[in-house]
Amino acid sequence: MIGQERLLTRIDKMIEAGFPRFTIICGNKQSGRKTIARYIAKALDAHLINSDIKVDDVREIIDLAYKQTEPIVYLLADADKMSPAAKNALLKITEEPPRKAYFIMTLQDINNTLETIKSRAVILNIDPYTPNDLIQYAELKGYNLNKEEEDIIINICTVPGEIDLIVRYNILEFYNFIETVIDNIGIVNGANAFKIGQRLNYKEDDGGWDIGLFMRAVMYICRKKMDINPISQYRDSIQITSKYLSELNITGINKASTIDMWILEMRGIWRNLYIKEKRDNSAII
Amino acid sequence: MQLYELKEQLLKKILQPLYIFTGEEMAVANIYIDKIANIMNTKPIRAESVASIYGKLQNKSLMNKANCYVIRDDKEYLSQDKVWDNLNNGIVQGDNIIILLYTNIDKRSKFYKHHSELLTEFNKLTPQVLAKYIKKEIGLDFKYGEQLAELCNCDYSRIMLECDKLKHLAAARNCDIHIAYISAIKEKLIYAEPKDVIFEFIDAVCKREIKRSYKLYDELKAIGENPLAIISLLYTNFKSILLVQSAGEGVDIAKRTGLTPWQIKLAKEKGIHYSISDLVRAIKIIRKTEKEIKTGNIEQDMAIDFILVSILFNYIQ
């Protein structure tokens, strides 16, 4: 386990004092929520069971939980998408916890669960990872990174899981593609610009690039370029990207259309500069 | 149980303690219910729920008369898994027969999986089969019968009502049933449900036909179409038009836009009504409205009105 010293110390103290039957681990995707759950199960000397979050599965584990004679930890991962019926079924366990079973739910946003569940659970928040933590994780995983790649990782990735993703994409290829996008988004025609969206991952198994990583990479590259060439277009691009990055977190938002809007706005910023440059050049001739 | 198996059983007068009928075509299911009751030499008794007759079923009767109970959409029974087997095996009902009717059953549910062998689905019949029923009922030719079935959306009960209407029309005008049918069609006495209103609506908006757009929108509201589905289709269509317009000319448009040749043809037809800046504005409005719905800043019911006013009326100004 890399980083999270404060959280792990808190968990150790909780285990000494008697670990709560119902816990929520809150943090971004790939931030190590399941690793924390495994750590808890190990410390409790209990089996860890990954459960589905469908209502039938929740009801089944509740039935089983009351029959357990050995300590057992049920993990309800990514419960943000849990149906209201499943959440209500889970309420029973929070009211009358079984003697030998522990429930751990992982969420991205604490507001994606019922107030009644929230008020009965102990909430553990994943702390942000420091650049050192991230580099340490990459070293531990055996990724042989040069200085440039390390810089990219520190500035783009926020959680360890994202390092695995970006290494899988090929860090420099990913970076160079985004740099090309920023340089050319105002020059290419609209149909071509919309192709950027085809490279991204809108659903779990789409296989494209992670949208969050992509957007953060855009902001990082603009920031870097602004240091060399301080034109307002880079600042505007960072603002627009940041705006759409936060909109992507709205529950149920159409990610593909959000990216389309980002493309349109970015084109708007860079197209004006391109047209102005073209006009200036023709005036000189 | 497949429908043909049920038919075979009933022809051989073999009955089972519990039947579960599901599907849209309840009028046909009712014919089978009458047939079962007929074999039992009784009339079907409609009951509210299994719970309401559960006690009665266990009473010993001096008359020893078996009843045929018909229960429609008993949602509570769907979750009473502890009594399912009692009813399935006829332990509770004795000689009585229970017929459960469900318009819709979730195929992923425990109930469906548990009763999959007992369930008989009454799906809509094909126009060809229905034409035979129509021929038998009023003597209308197969060609017209199929047409009538399609007009009635293959809904058996509606077909029977229309047949009755035609019979009376022929009698009132003292004419042949075929002439009555043709005049009923001409005079629009047989209501034809509009098909694919949503696509026609999208087409009207993309072609900037204001009156047609609003007329079709009223129809969409009447059938309760989901505004988010409309928004999603509007977005996809406007984006296709924008892609095609901004891709310029040439043979490789399909490659450049990622659209199919058919989508490109449609987008080109619609594209003449909007400029590129109009299209950009339109997709921004559509997307913004969708976001506002998701964030609770705009009511779903007025979202389409807002989009129509913003997109269509820009043209008039």
| Neighboring chain A residues of B291 at a CB cutoff of 8 Å | 247, 250, 253, 258
Q: Tens of pLDDT along A83-105? A: 888 888 888 888 888 888 899 99
Determine which of A40-44, A121-125, B2-6 has the lowest per-residue pLDDT on average. B2-6
CATH of the domain at A41: 3.40.50.300
Cβ–Cβ contact B256 with A under 8 A: yes
For residue B191, how far is the Cα from the chain centroid?
16
A258 Rama class: left (phi>0) / alpha (psi -120 to 50) / beta: alpha
Over range A59-82, report the average pLDDT: 87
What's the CA gap between B153 and B24, in Å, rounded?
12
Q: Which of B235, B242, B291 sits opposite A190 (nearest CB)?
A: B242
Q: Tens of pLDDT along B102-139? A: 888 887 788 888 888 888 888 888 899 899 999 998 99
Cβ–Cβ contact B277 with A under 8 A: no
In a domain, A148, yes or no: no
| Neighboring chain B residues of A190 at a CB cutoff of 8 Å | 242-243, 245-247, 276
What's the CA gap between B207 and B213, in Å, rounded?
9
Q: Are B218 and B247 in contact (CB under 8 A)?
A: no
Cβ–Cβ contact B257 with A under 8 A: yes
Q: Which of A56, A194, A253 sits opposite B243 (nearest CB)?
A: A194
Q: How far is CA A218 from CA A179, A242, A283, in A?
A: 8, 10, 33
- Tokens for A258, please give them: 């959000």
From A88, A105, A125, give the residue that closes a domain: A125
Cβ–Cβ contact B290 with A under 8 A: yes
Cβ–Cβ contact B159 with A under 8 A: no
What percent of chain A shows pLDDT beyond 70? 98
The residue behind tokens 């030719």 is B141
In this structure, the strands spanning A101-107 and A72-76 are parallel
Kindly report the nearest CA distance between residue B294 and chain A, in angstroms: 7
Within the 93-112 window of chain B, which residues sit less than 8 Å (CB to CB) from chain A?
A: 110
A195 burial via Cβ count (<10 Å: 0-12, 13-18, 19+): middle
Q: Are A234 and A257 in contact (CB under 8 A)?
A: no
In chain A, DSSP assigns E strands to 22-26, 47-51, 72-76, 101-107, 122-125, 200-201, 209-210
Query: Which residue range is the domain that position A43 belongs to?
Result: 5-125
| Neighboring chain A residues of B243 at a CB cutoff of 8 Å | 190-191, 194
Tell me: do A260 and A206 sit in the same domain.
yes
Confidence grade of residue A283 (pLDDT, cut at 50, 70, 90): low
Tell me: do A82 and A180 sit in the same domain.
no
Quick one: DSSP state of residue A80? G
What is the sign of the dihedral through the CA atoms of B158, B161, B167 and B172? negative
| Neighboring chain A residues of B235 at a CB cutoff of 8 Å | 254, 257
Determine which of A4-18, A201-215, B87-101, B265-279 has the lowest per-residue pLDDT on average. B87-101
End-to-end CA distance of chain A: 63
Tell me: do A254 and A175 sit in the same domain.
yes
The residue behind tokens 């949503």 is B198
Angle at B300 between CA B299 and CA B304, to 5 degrees: 110
Cβ–Cβ contact B239 with A under 8 A: yes
Q: Under CATH, to which class is B197-316 assigned? A: mainly alpha
Over range A182-205, report the average pLDDT: 85
Task: State the complex-level ipTM.
Answer: 0.74
Q: Tens of pLDDT along A242-272? A: 999 998 888 788 899 999 999 999 999 998 8
Higher pLDDT, B249 or A157: A157
Q: Which fold has domain B3-121?
A: Rossmann fold (3.40.50)
| Residue contact A189–B247, C-beta within 8 A | yes
pLDDT at residue A211 in the model: 92
Helices of type H across chain B? 3-11, 26-39, 50-58, 75-78, 81-88, 110-114, 127-138, 142-151, 156-173, 177-186, 197-206, 210-222, 227-247, 253-257, 261-271, 276-294, 300-316
Q: What stretch of H or E contains A5?
A: helix A5-17
Tell whether the model's pLDDT for residue A284 goes beyond 70.
no
Read off φ and ψ for residue A159, nearest 5 degrees: -135, 155
Non-local CB neighbours of B303 within 8 Å, separated by 6+ positions = B227, B231, B289, B290, B292, B293
Q: Are B271 and B241 in contact (CB under 8 A)?
A: yes
In a domain, A9, yes or no: yes
Kindly report the nearest CA distance between residue B232 and chain A, in angstroms: 9
In a domain, A144, yes or no: no
| Neighboring chain B residues of A258 at a CB cutoff of 8 Å | 287, 291
Non-local CB neighbours of A250 within 8 Å, separated by 6+ positions = B291, B294, B295
Within the 174-193 window of chain B, which residues sit less than 8 Å (CB to CB) from chain A?
A: none
Q: Are B162 and B133 in contact (CB under 8 A)?
A: no
In a domain, A248, yes or no: yes
What's the CA gap between A271 and B246, in Å, rounded?
14
pLDDT at residue A28 in the model: 87
| Residue contact B290–A189, C-beta within 8 A | no
In a domain, A77, yes or no: yes
Tell whether the model's pLDDT for residue A31 goes beyond 60.
yes
pLDDT at residue B61 in the model: 65
User: A interface toward B at CB cutoff 8 Å?
Assistant: 56, 189-192, 194-195, 198, 247, 250-254, 257-258, 260-261, 264
**Number of Cα atoms under 13 Å in the Cβ half of residue B172:** 10
Kindly report the nearest CA distance between residue B277 and chain A, in angstroms: 11
Kindly report the nearest CA distance between residue B202 and chain A, in angstroms: 18
| Residue contact A190–B243, C-beta within 8 A | yes
Tell me: do A120 and A182 sit in the same domain.
no
pLDDT at residue B316 in the model: 44
Low-confidence ranges of chain B (pLDDT < 70): 60-64, 92-93, 193-195, 251, 314-317
Over range A2-29, report the average pLDDT: 90
Task: Please report how the helices A131-140 and A160-169 are oriented relative to each other, as an axis angle in degrees rounded to 10.
Answer: 60
Kindly report the nearest CA distance between residue A192 and chain B, in angstroms: 7
End-to-end CA distance of chain B: 63
Number of structural domains chain A divides into: 2
Read off φ and ψ for residue A261, nearest 5 degrees: -65, -40
What's the CA gap between B178 and B187, in Å, rounded?
14
pLDDT at residue B4 in the model: 84
Provide the whole-model pTM. Answer: 0.66
- Gyration radius from chain A CA atoms: 23
Within the 23-82 window of chain B, which residues sit less than 8 Å (CB to CB) from chain A?
A: none
Tell me: do A100 and A193 sit in the same domain.
no
Tell me: do A271 and A200 sit in the same domain.
yes
| Residue contact B235–A261, C-beta within 8 A | no
In a domain, A157, yes or no: no
Tell me: do A116 and A41 sit in the same domain.
yes
In this structure, the strands spanning A22-26 and A122-125 are parallel
The residue behind tokens 């469900």 is B102
Q: How far is CA A6 from CA A110, A124, A127, A132, B260, in A?
A: 20, 11, 8, 16, 55
Q: DSSP for B180-205?
A: HHHHHHHTT-SPPPPSSHHHHHHHHH
In a domain, A279, yes or no: yes
pLDDT at residue A243 in the model: 94
Tell me: do A184 and A115 sit in the same domain.
no
Tell me: do A89 and A192 sit in the same domain.
no
Domain ranges, ordered by start, for chain B = 3-121, 127-186, 197-316
What's the CA gap between B180 and B170, in Å, rounded?
5
Q: Are B75 and B49 in contact (CB under 8 A)?
A: no
What's the CA gap between A268 and A283, in Å, rounded?
23
What's the CA gap between A197 and A258, in Å, rounded?
10
pLDDT at residue B77 in the model: 86
In a domain, A149, yes or no: no
Over range A98-125, report the average pLDDT: 88
